Amino acid sequence: MRTLYTTSTRTAIVDLLKRDPRYLTATAIYRILRDDNPRLALSTVYRTLELLAELGNVSFRTESNGETSYVFCTDEHHHHAICSVCGHVDEVDCAAIDQFKSALMAQQSFELDDHSIEFYGRCARCR
Ligand SMILES: [Zn+2]
Ligand SMILES: [Zn+2]
Ligand SMILES: [Zn+2]
């Protein structure tokens, strides 16, 4: 029973994150899911999010108040375009970085190994 319960929590969290692609804290996720599942514990939400992060199904960031927030991610390498108005997160592919990498090498002899980029702007609905 315990496994089943955990699995259904995991499904509910993944469904929510897919439906609402914004960075959400564990507390926010807990509050939304609790409506349908009054027995849900905040600790279960935390544990499930940690597991999903380990599996690479979500990425996370630290908010200014120190809370961790999570967003659903596909397996492919990508970046996030984040709407400054509503927080909507779009996945952006990375093709432009290859050009940037060549330019860094040509102009500054810098060899790029890894990168982490977020884009900020306004989504289609908020323009
Ligand atoms: Zn992502
Ligand atoms: Zn927006
Ligand atoms: Zn990239």
Q: Do both 65 and 87 map to the same domain?
A: no
Q: Give the tens place of pLDDT for each residue, 84-114.
A: 999 999 999 998 888 999 999 999 999 999 9
Q: Give the tens place of pLDDT for each residue, 67-80.
A: 999 999 998 899 99
Encoding tokens for residue 71?
């967003």
Span from the CA of 93 to the centroid of ligand 1 (angstroms): 10
The answer as to whether 19 is a domain residue is yes
Residue 84: which domain range?
79-121
The answer as to whether 126 is a domain residue is no
Q: Do both 99 and 38 map to the same domain?
A: no
- Our count of domains for the chain comes to 2
- CA separation, residue 86 to residues 11, 42, 55, 75, 120 (Å): 25, 25, 27, 24, 11
Q: Do both 28 and 56 map to the same domain?
A: yes
Report the alpha-carbon distance of residue 118 to residue 23 in Å, rounded: 13
CATH number, domain at 88?
3.30.1490.190
Q: Token pair 């977020």 is at which residue?
A: 118
Listed residues 35, 52, 72: the one ending a domain: 72
Phi-psi region of 22 (alpha: psi -120 to 50; beta: other; left: phi over 0): beta
Span from the CA of 65 to the centroid of ligand 1 (angstroms): 22
Span from the CA of 68 to the centroid of ligand 3 (angstroms): 22
